[in-house]
A and B are shown apart, each in its own frame.
Chain A
Amino acid sequence: MITFEQAGFDYGDGQILSDLSFELAPGSFHFLTGPSGSGKTTLLKLCYLALKPTRGAVHVFGEDSRTADADQVAHLRRRIGVVHQDCRFLDHLSIADNIALPLEVSGRMSAHNLGNRDALLDWVALDHRAKALPPELSGGERQRAALARAVILSPDILLADEPTGNVDSEMGERLMRLLIELNQMGRTILVATHDMALIRQVKEDVRARVLRLVGGHMQVAGAEL
Chain B
Amino acid sequence: MIGRIASELTSTRVSDRVVPTNNRTARLTLVASAAMAFLAVLALSAALAAAILGAGWKATLETSTTIRLMGEGEELERAIAVTLDILATVPGARNAEHLDMAAQADLLAPWLGAAFPETALPPARMITLKDEMTEANRAALVARLAAEVPGATFENHGAWRDPLIETAVSVRNLGGVAVALSLLAQSVLVMLAASAALAANRGVIETLRLIGATHGYIRKAFVRRITLRVGLGALIGTMAGAALLLILPEGSVALAPTGWGWAILPTIPFVAMIASFAATRATANHMLTELT
| Residues of chain A whose beta carbon lies under 8 Å from any beta carbon of chain B | 48, 50, 70-71, 73-75, 77-78, 82, 84, 88-90, 92-93, 97, 100-102, 104-106, 109, 149, 153
Q: List residues of chain B with CB within 8 A of the CB of A101.
A: 14, 18, 208, 211
> Which of B21, B212, B292 makes the CB contact (< 8 A) with A105?
B212
- Min CB distance A148 to B, Å, is 12
Q: Which B residues from 169 to 217 make CB contacts under 8 A with A?
A: 204, 206-217
User: Is B65 among interface residues, defined by CB-CB distance under 8 A?
Assistant: no
- Min CB distance A137 to B, Å, is 16
Q: List residues of chain B with CB within 8 A of the CB of A75.
A: 212, 214
10 A–B pairs (Cβ distance < 8 Å), ordered by A: A70-B215, A73-B292, A74-B209, A75-B214, A82-B211, A97-B14, A104-B15, A105-B211, A105-B217, A109-B14
Q: Is the CB of B210 within 8 A of A77?
A: yes
> Which of B17, B206, B211 makes the CB contact (< 8 A) with A93?
B17
| Residues of chain B whose beta carbon lies under 8 Å from any beta carbon of chain A | 12, 14-15, 17-18, 20-22, 204, 206-217, 288, 292
Residue on A nearest B207 in the bound complex, by CB? A88
How many Å lie between the Cα of A89 and that of B210 in the bound state?
11
Q: List residues of chain B with CB within 8 A of the CB of A100.
A: 14
Q: Contacts A97-B14, A104-B15, A109-B12 given; indicate if A90 touches B210 (C-beta within 8 A).
A: no
Q: List residues of chain A with CB within 8 A of the CB of B212.
A: 74-75, 77-78, 102, 105-106, 153
Q: Is the CB of B18 within 8 A of A90?
A: yes
How many Å lie between the Cα of A221 and that of B160 in the bound state?
96
Q: List residues of chain B with CB within 8 A of the CB of A71.
A: 214-216
Q: Is the CB of A97 within 8 A of B213?
A: no
> Which of B14, B208, B210, B215 makes the CB contact (< 8 A) with A82?
B210
Q: Is the CB of B210 within 8 A of A50?
A: yes
Residue on B nearest A106 in the bound complex, by CB? B212
Q: Contacts A71-B214, A92-B21, A97-B14 given; indicate if A105 touches B207 (C-beta within 8 A).
A: no
Q: List residues of chain B with CB within 8 A of the CB of A88.
A: 206-207, 210
- Min CB distance B17 to A, Å, is 6
Q: List residues of chain B with CB within 8 A of the CB of A149.
A: 211
> Which of A78, A90, A104 makes the CB contact (< 8 A) with B207?
A90
Q: Contacts A70-B292, A74-B215, A90-B204 given; indicate if A104 touches B210 (C-beta within 8 A).
A: no
